Amino acid sequence: MNKIIPVTGIIAVILYFLSVGAFLISKTELALTVWELMTIVSGPVVLLVLLEISQRISTPESYRRAMLAFMACTCALTGAAHIVNITVTRRLISEGVEVPLYFQIGQWPSVEMAVDYLAWGFFTGLAFICLSVSASSDDKAARRLKSVSLINGILCFAGFAGALFINENVWYLAPMGYGLGLLILCILRLRLPRQT
What is the DSSP track for 59-100? --HHHHHHHHHHHHHHHHHHHHHHHHIIIIIHHHHHTT----
Domain assignment present for residue 112? The answer is: yes
Angstrom distances, CA of residue 111 to CA of 19, 89, 100, 132? 23, 12, 10, 31
- pLDDT by 10-residue block (mean), the chain, 196 residues: 88 96 94 95 96 88 95 97 94 93 87 95 96 75 89 96 87 94 94 67
In a domain, 129, yes or no: yes
In a domain, 179, yes or no: yes
Would you state the pLDDT for residue 178? 94
Measured between alpha carbons, how far is 174 from 179 in angstroms, rounded to an integer?
8
pLDDT for residue 194: 64
Predicted local confidence at residue 168, as pLDDT: 84
Closest CA to 112 of 80, 75, 73: 80
- For residue 196, being part of any structural domain is answered with no
Would residue 141 count as lying in a domain? Answer: yes
For residues 112 and 81, the answer to whether their CB atoms sit within 8 Å is: yes
- CA dihedral over 64, 66, 70, 76, signed as positive or negative: positive
Q: In terms of C-beta density within 10 A (0-12 exposed, 13-18 middle, 19 or more buried), how is residue 54 classed?
A: buried
User: What's residue 136's pLDDT?
Assistant: 62
Range of the domain at 120: 4-191
Give which of 57, 43, 55, 33 is closest to 13, Cα–Cα: 43
Count how many domains the chain has: 1
pLDDT of residue 142: 81
In a domain, 31, yes or no: yes
Quickly list H helices, 85-180.
90-94, 111-117, 124-134, 140-165, 173-175
